[in-house]
């Protein structure tokens, strides 16, 4: 519920331009600062908060009913929330869902994430669209004591995401195998026991459901840290290379990711597939540029057109940087575009089985519009194996 007259606010959101929003805090107490973005999805708040791509960001949810189905361990995309904080219109109600294992507030508190409710999220969203993703500080104090000048100063002191390599912060510490497949009724999550392809997945901040989709497409997946070298990748003798989603500035992560990808492309003919930050890493490795967007794309209702087929997919997106399609070199073509703003959403090499997309095909908002991309990756590996056998 929004704040009512006479209630003392227990949370404060301060923007770098001095704008203040007061509301009711829930989750953890304390202060955090980050870039402020908005997400238009109607469901999936737990997956959004645990998506490593949201590192360094506070998420404003435009849909007012957030938290009403609670939380459960199966919906985490990584072990703990990665987004810095949460902004919502209505305070979460008690959960009403058979899968709920805890309340959103208790879950956030246990994991050190601050949230604020009772905010005019429509006004805040308009401000983000008008001025770009602002830097913000979010404070929660049950006693309602706020030093607003200090909060504004913290917001202004936030370094911003440009130039930040956040993939190192969210990547795995060591390699591991993955064989869990997508959830299916009535078995739930099952294990891949008849894999046809060995895939190395580079973890720039990988979501679990991406790895499940790879396993469901017949892949035996080995996950390597973001800083893995080409030699470390090739030591696993993979049939294909997957480049995951992740946070931060692709130019900064590219300092070590781009040389690795170029080495793989120079030394092998193996299929390569990238998603989100992985898409941007591949584009930069091929010679294209990436640029910071005004307020980015964050939501589960983004229409994307496949230029080659003319089909439109309803996609999930979370990115604040984009590939500059005007910078694509010869031999690389644009395959998908956003129907919201025309920005690039996919590329492929014209002569090799190397491709990537900006959106998240594993998130299934369509719901199955984009799973063909995982099947395409598997088909490329099948074709490569047939050429070797021939």
- What residues have CB less than 8 Å from 40, skipping those under 6 apart? 62, 63, 298, 299, 300, 301
**Is 362 among the catalytic positions?**
yes
Q: Please give the C-alpha separations between residue 154 and each of 13, 43, 329, in angstroms, as whole numbers.
A: 11, 31, 41
The DSSP-derived string for 111-167 is: TT-EEEES--HHHHHHHHHHH-S-EEEEEE-TT----HHHHHHHHHH---STT---H
Options 197, 297, 298, 360, the catalytic residue: 360
Q: Determine contact, residues 299/48, Cβ cutoff 8 Å.
A: no
Options 319, 345, 362, 380, the catalytic residue: 362
Q: How much of the chain is helix, strand and coil, in % rounded to 5?
A: 30, 30, 40
**Is 351 among the catalytic positions?**
no
Options 12, 37, 276, 345, the catalytic residue: 276
**Is 37 among the catalytic positions?**
no
Burial letters 317-348, b for 16+ CB under 10 A, else e: bbbbbbbebebbeeebebbbbbeeeebbbbbb
Best CA proximity match to 98, nearest among 72, 73, 67, 76: 72
The token pair at 226 is 């973001």
Please report, for the chain, how many H helices and E strands are present, in that order: 10, 17
Q: Determine contact, residues 31/139, Cβ cutoff 8 Å.
A: yes
Best CA proximity match to 338, nearest among 305, 316, 308, 314: 305
Catalytic positions, written as ranges:
276, 360, 362
């Amino acid at each position: 519920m929004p704040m009512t007259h006479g209630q003392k606010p227990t949370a404060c959101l301060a923007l770098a331009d001095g704008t203040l929003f007061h509301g009711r805090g829930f989750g953890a107490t304390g202060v955090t600062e980050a870039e402020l973005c908005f997400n238009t999805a109607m469901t999936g708040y737990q997956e959004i908060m645990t998506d490593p791509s949201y590192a360094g960001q506070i998420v404003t949810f435009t849909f007012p009913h957030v938290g009403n189905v609670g939380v459960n361990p199966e919906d985490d995309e990584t072990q703990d929330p990665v987004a810095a904080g949460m902004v919502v219109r209505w305070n979460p109600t008690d959960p009403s869902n058979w899968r709920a294992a805890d309340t959103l507030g208790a879950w956030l508190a246990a994991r050190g994430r601050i949230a604020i409710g009772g905010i005019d999220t429509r006004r805040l969203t308009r401000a983000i669209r008008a001025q770009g993703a602002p830097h913000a500080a979010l404070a929660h104090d049950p006693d309602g004591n706020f030093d607003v000048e200090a909060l504004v100063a913290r917001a202004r002191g936030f370094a911003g995401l440009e130039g930040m390599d956040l993939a190192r912060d969210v990547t795995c510490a060591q390699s591991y195998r993955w064989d869990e497949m997508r959830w299916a009724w009535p078995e739930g999550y099952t294990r891949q026991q008849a894999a046809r392809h060995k895939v190395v997945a580079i973890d720039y901040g990988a979501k679990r459901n991406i790895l499940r989709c790879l396993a469901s497409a017949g892949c035996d997946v080995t996950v390597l840290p973001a800083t893995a070298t080409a030699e470390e990748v090739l030591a696993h003798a993979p049939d294909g290379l997957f480049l995951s989603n992740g946070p931060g500035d692709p130019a900064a992560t590219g300092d070590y990711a781009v040389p690795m990808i170029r080495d793989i492309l120079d030394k092998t003919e193996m299929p390569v597939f990238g998603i989100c930050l992985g898409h941007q890493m591949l584009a930069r490795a091929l010679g294209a540029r990436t640029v910071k967007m005004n307020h980015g794309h964050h939501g589960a209702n983004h229409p994307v057109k496949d230029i080659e087929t003319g089909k439109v997919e309803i996609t999930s997106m979370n990115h604040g940087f984009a590939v500059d399609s005007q910078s694509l070199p010869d031999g690389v073509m644009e395959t998908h575009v956003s129907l919201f703003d025309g920005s690039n959403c996919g590329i492929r090499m014209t002569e090799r089985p190397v491709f990537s997309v900006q959106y998240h095909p594993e998130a299934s908002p369509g719901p199955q519009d984009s799973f063909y991309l995982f099947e395409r990756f598997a088909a490329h590996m099948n074709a490569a194996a047939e050429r070797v056998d021939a």
